[in-house]
Amino acid sequence: MKNKILLFSLLAISTGSMAQSPIKFGVKAGMTVSTMQGDAVKSLNGLLDYTNGMVTTGSRTGFFGGVNANIPMDNVLSIEPGIYFSQKGYELKGALNVKGLEFLGANAKAQLQSQYIDIPVLLKANISGLQLFAGPQVSYLLKSDLRTTAGLLGINLLNSKMDATSQFNRWDAALTGGVGYAFSNGLNVSASYDYGLMKADKGKSMDIYNRGFKVGLGINF
């Protein structure tokens, strides 16, 4: 899957480079709201124990930012490759037993804080400023930390961070798509959704996938 997406990306860039219109470069940054779907709770069983039925999963809010190039194919369609730093992960709430610390807290919280490099290649349609886009995305995991906190009556009883990078696959692949609007001065806004296709755990034995929304503000030069 990863090789096919990379091949498609190279072909798309080569095709787009034949366009006669000038290539525009841009920067974009914004907010991510990410989670993991599937057996997310089980993915950290090497670092945490759980009380059955007492743990729920939620999303992590983070940041993304990077650069892109818009390669026109005609007056409407263009190819847009990019490279972005992106914060992903998810959150666990409930009774968490942190191995090595022997702590059990019904109000404990553990947040998986992952940093990725995302490389999307988008097919974009621009209709009088309204932009619709979709395409493949390859991602590389830089680092993943598990931060665990717990408190009682306003007192912080636990605040620890552990390296969880070894629990996850370094490479990921996704489909991404969304909608945006480009203003005449070069500014643009967008909202998109990343749908992970590859199992995120290192052994690929569990059905766990990265999923998330991105809302961004950018400018093209």
Q: What is the pLDDT along the chain (221 residues), one digit of tens a residue?
A: 555 555 555 555 555 445 557 899 999 999 999 998 887 767 776 666 655 556 777 899 999 999 999 999 999 999 999 999 999 999 887 666 655 555 545 567 788 999 999 999 999 999 999 999 999 999 999 999 988 877 665 556 667 788 999 989 999 999 999 999 999 999 999 999 999 999 998 877 788 899 999 999 999 99
pLDDT of residue 184: 93
Q: What is the pLDDT of residue 109?
A: 79
d(CA 201, CA 195): 16
Nearest to 5 by CA among 116, 172, 137, 197: 137
What pLDDT does residue 172 have?
96
Q: Which residues are 110's β-sheet partners? A: 92, 148
Q: Residue 150: its pLDDT value, please?
A: 72
Instruction: Tell me the pTM.
Output: 0.83
CB 206 within 8 A of CB 38: yes
Domain span at 105: 2-17+24-220
How many other CB atoms are there within 10 angstroms of residue 191's CB atom? 13
Number of domains in the chain: 1
How much is the pLDDT for 37? 85
Distance in angstroms (rounded) separating the CA atoms of residues 55 and 97: 11
* Bridge partner residues of 82 (DSSP): 68
Question: What's 138's domain CATH number?
Answer: 2.40.160.20
φ, ψ of residue 35 in degrees (nearest 5): -155, 180
